[in-house]
């Protein structure tokens, strides 16, 4: 999930995006875990008109738009990869 957020950059990802791309069913819980790991993730509110002509609002998760936040996210991602490799071997 963290890789997807890093890859999405400023565009960010919604809960639906997480389900469609990576089959992540409980995105808010995973976002909370990443935040507890030190990743600065914010939720931007996006307003649109749906296919029925109704105004809707939903959240899009993005890594905070600072160089420090992105560097921290990449460090956490690498640490997670190392832990996964250690658990497999």
**Residue 89 pLDDT > 80, yes or no?**
no
Identify which of 18, 14, 82, 88 has the alpha carbon closest to the alpha carbon of residue 48.
14
Helix (H) or strand (E) holding 4: helix 2-8
pTM for this predicted structure: 0.75
Q: What is the pLDDT of residues 13-71, one digit of tens each?
A: 999 999 999 898 888 898 998 899 888 999 999 999 999 999 999 999 998 888 788 88
Q: Is 21 helix (H, G, I), strand (E, B) or coil?
A: helix
Locate the domains of the chain by residue range.
2-88
């Amino acid at each position: 999930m963290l890789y997807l957020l890093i890859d999405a950059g400023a565009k960010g990802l919604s809960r639906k995006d997480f389900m469609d791309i990576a089959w992540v069913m409980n995105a808010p819980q995973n976002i909370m875990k990443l935040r507890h790991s030190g990743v600065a993730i914010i939720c931007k509110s996006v307003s649109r008109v749906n296919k029925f002509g109704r105004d809707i609002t939903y959240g899009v998760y993005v890594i905070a738009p600072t160089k420090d936040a992105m560097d921290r996210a990449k460090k956490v991602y690498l640490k997670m990869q190392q832990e996964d490799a250690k658990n497999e071997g």
